[in-house]
Amino acid sequence: MHLAELNIGRLSAPTDDPRVAEFMEALDLVNGLGKRMPGFVWMMEGSGAPGTGNTENCIGADPQFVANLTVWEDVASLEKFVWDTIHKRFYDRRAEWFEVLGDQHFVMWWVAPGHRPTLDEGLARLDHLRAHGASDHGFGWDWLKQAGLWRDRRCAAG
């Protein structure tokens, strides 16, 4: 099985606002690195326009409420990208560009090789996690016994 992950967030300003410019300008670099990582399988894409990443895949009618959806061969591959690359520097600074969401905003689940999850599928998994807690249907890092980097390298909750 492969590992799917959905991460959602609401930008603190529109994508063309100077307050989120540094984040928007880094999307191509960070996403490009992810796509070249060993173990990367697939990423939900936007139009491909430079500097937009997949922010065009907004949630509902809110263009500031964006999603990132990827598939990885295994936990180690995703962990390596998230916690051991430039991605971590941007993750640590997410409060500069994103509103703090009160709800769980990240979910992972196993998918059969070749399956490309939809945003609606990921949002349903996230809703299930929020309503019922971690299970095989949807989980966070702490559900994965083989995950370890997140324990040492994540930034403080808040």
Token readout for 140 is: 């966070």
Token readout for 117 is: 């999850």
- 67 vs 126: CA distance, rounded Å: 12
Flag whether pLDDT at 158 surpasses 70. no
Domains and CATH numbers, the chain: 2-153 (3.30.70.100)
- 2 vs 85: CA distance, rounded Å: 21
Cβ neighbors of 61 (< 8 A, separation 6 or more) are none
Q: What is the value of pTM for the model shown?
A: 0.89
For the stretch 56-95, pLDDT in tens is: 777 888 889 989 999 999 999 999 999 999 999 998 999 9
Nearest to 70 by CA among 141, 5, 137, 147: 5
Pick from 36-40, 51-55, 57-61: least confident: 51-55
For the stretch 14-35, pLDDT in tens is: 999 999 999 999 988 999 999 9
- 75 vs 53: CA distance, rounded Å: 23
